[in-house]
Amino acid sequence: DTGVSQDPRHKITKRGQNVTFRCDPISEHNRLYWYRQTLGQGPEFLTYFQNEAQLEKSRLLSDRFSAERPKGSFSTLEIQRTEQGDSAMYLCASSPRVAGNTIYFGEGSWLTVV
């Protein structure tokens, strides 16, 4: 059990560019979540996968955001045409098959849009 892994840890990009973040959950965790956190705030839910199915999406997830989990293992979060307001930490989390169990978070991917 190596924990939830996220890559890259830091990304600086120019406004208008596309960025992609990767998340590797704890092995055998079938539930995967993406959250966004800005400075001084608690995390906000973006989307939820159960295996490869994306079952929930927040209204925060605009058309410029897309998330995938093609084989039910790792997941990617892509942001197209980045804006300065997208600057935040993007957190991935996973939890085991049994509902209501503890959720484990990764270290996050910091995005700065300049």
Partner 1 sequence: KQEVTQIPAALSVPEGENLVLNCSFTDSAIYNLQWFRQDPGKGLTSLLLIQSSQREQTSGRLNASLDKSSGRSTLYIAASQPGDSATYLCAVKSNAGNMLTFGGGTRLMVKP
In the complex, which residues of this chain contact partner 1 (CB under 8 A)?
A: 4, 31, 33, 35, 40-45, 48, 50, 55-56, 58, 91, 93, 99-108, 110
We find the least distance from the C-beta atom of residue 107 to partner 1, in angstroms, to be 4
Pick the closer one to partner 1 by CB: 27 or 99. Answer: 99
Pick the closer one to partner 1 by CB: 82 or 106. Answer: 106
User: In angstroms, rounded to a whole number, what is the distance separating the alpha carbons of residues 25 and 59?
Assistant: 24
What's the start-to-end Cα distance of the chain, in Å?
36
User: In angstroms, rounded to a whole number, what is the distance separating the alpha carbons of residues 109 and 93?
Assistant: 12
Listed residue (5, 13, 32, 1) closest to 88, CA to CA = 13
Pick the closer one to partner 1 by CB: 80 or 107. Answer: 107
